[in-house]
Amino acid sequence: MRFLALLAAFAAGVATAAAQQSLQPQQLQPPAQQPPPAQQSQPAQQPQLRTDNPPTLRAIPDGPGKRVAELQGLDKVTARTQRFYAPVGETTRFGTLGITVGDCLVNTPDAPPEAAAYLTIIDHKPGQPEQKLFAGWMFASTPALSAMDDGVYDVRVLACTMRQGSSPPK
């Protein structure tokens, strides 16, 4: 039964990906191009970004504060959700999870609003070896496109922003 549910979720994710042509993860990195079979003796060309649909995701513009990803976590055991900020380049704890944000991108002002974060999520259960649950890009507008599959926790990206911190009291 679980297999059928996973298969249905995968099919829904594929359909969503096809509908979201402006947010293809391939646009974040140049696609690998193979030369045609007749031209294999020639040197390989450098991969190039697609020019018919240029990427619109970019780093958060510089400003005061730290670049952070606003995330939402769900603990399925207690049915509680929590919003929290995870600074880019640092590890943030949520339950037994260690969430590291590698990068956080937003759309240009002339494109529809979107945020994408590269997350590495490792489960640190007490008495057990660390287990990598997720490593990849998550998109705020389509969380099902690239979701973390875990029995206890769900994590999703809400936004990428600059957050101003205050120094602790002395």
Predicted local confidence at residue 165, as pLDDT: 65
Q: Is residue 132 part of a domain?
A: yes
Using DSSP's 3-state secondary structure scheme, residue 62 falls into coil
Q: What is the pLDDT along the chain (170 residues), one digit of tens a residue?
A: 444 444 455 444 444 444 444 444 444 543 344 444 444 444 444 444 444 445 777 787 777 888 999 999 999 999 999 999 999 999 999 999 999 999 999 988 888 889 999 999 999 999 999 999 999 999 999 988 988 889 999 999 999 998 876 544 44
Rounded Cα gap, residues 143 and 158, in angstroms: 9
- Whether 153 and 95 have beta carbons less than 8 Å apart is answered as yes
Domain range enclosing 146 = 55-165
At CB < 8 A and 24+ separation, what contacts does 17-21 make?
17/142, 17/145, 20/141, 20/142, 20/145, 21/53
Q: Name the residue with tokens 């490792």.
A: 122
Nearest to 35 by CA among 23, 43, 26, 25: 43
Q: Is residue 39 part of a domain?
A: no
List, edge to edge, every strand of the sheet that includes 66-75.
80-87, 66-75, 153-163
The number of angstroms, rounded, from the C-alpha of 79 to the middle of its chain's C-alpha atoms is: 23
Q: Is residue 79 part of a domain?
A: yes
DSSP secondary-structure letter at 32?
P
Q: Is residue 102 part of a domain?
A: yes
Q: Is residue 30 part of a domain?
A: no
pTM flag (> 0.85): no
Structural domains counted in the chain: 1
Q: Name the residue with tokens 């649950």.
A: 133
Q: Is residue 160 part of a domain?
A: yes
Nearest to 57 by CA among 109, 118, 106: 106
